[in-house]
Chains A and B, each alone.
Chain A
Amino acid sequence: DQQVKQNSPSLSVQEGRISILNCDYTNSMFDYFLWYKKYPAEGPTFLISISSIKDKNEDGRFTVFLNKSAKHLSLHIVPSQPGDSAVYFCAVITNAGGTSYGKLTFGQGTILTVHP
Chain B
Amino acid sequence: NAGVTQTPKFRILKIGQSMTLQCTQDMNHNYMYWYRQDPGMGLKLIYYSVGAGITDKGEVPNGYNVSRSTTEDFPLRLELAAPSQTSVYFCASSYSTGSYNEQFFGPGTRLTVL
Contacts and interface: CB of A to CB of B under 8 A. Distances in A.
Contacts, number: 70
A9 B97 CA distance: 35
B53 interface: no
Q: Which 5 A-B pairs have the closest CB atoms?
A: A43-B105, A106-B42, A96-B100, A97-B99, A46-B102
Interface residues of B, number: 31
Interface of A: 4, 6, 9, 32, 41-46, 49, 89, 91, 93, 96-97, 101-109
Contact of A4 (B42, B96, B107): B42
A97 B96 contact: yes
Interface of B: 4, 31, 33, 35, 40-45, 48, 50, 56, 58-59, 90, 92, 94, 96-108
Contacts of A41: 107-108
B31 A97 contact: no
Given A101-B50, A102-B94, A89 B33 contact: no
Contact of B45 (A32, A43, A46, A104): A104
Given A41-B107, A44-B43, A45-B105, A101 B99 contact: no
A103 B107 contact: no
Nearest to A42: B107
Given A41-B107, A44-B105, A108 B98 contact: no
14 contacts: A43-B92, A43-B108, A49-B102, A97-B97, A97-B99, A101-B50, A101-B56, A102-B31, A102-B33, A102-B94, A102-B96, A104-B45, A106-B42, A108-B41
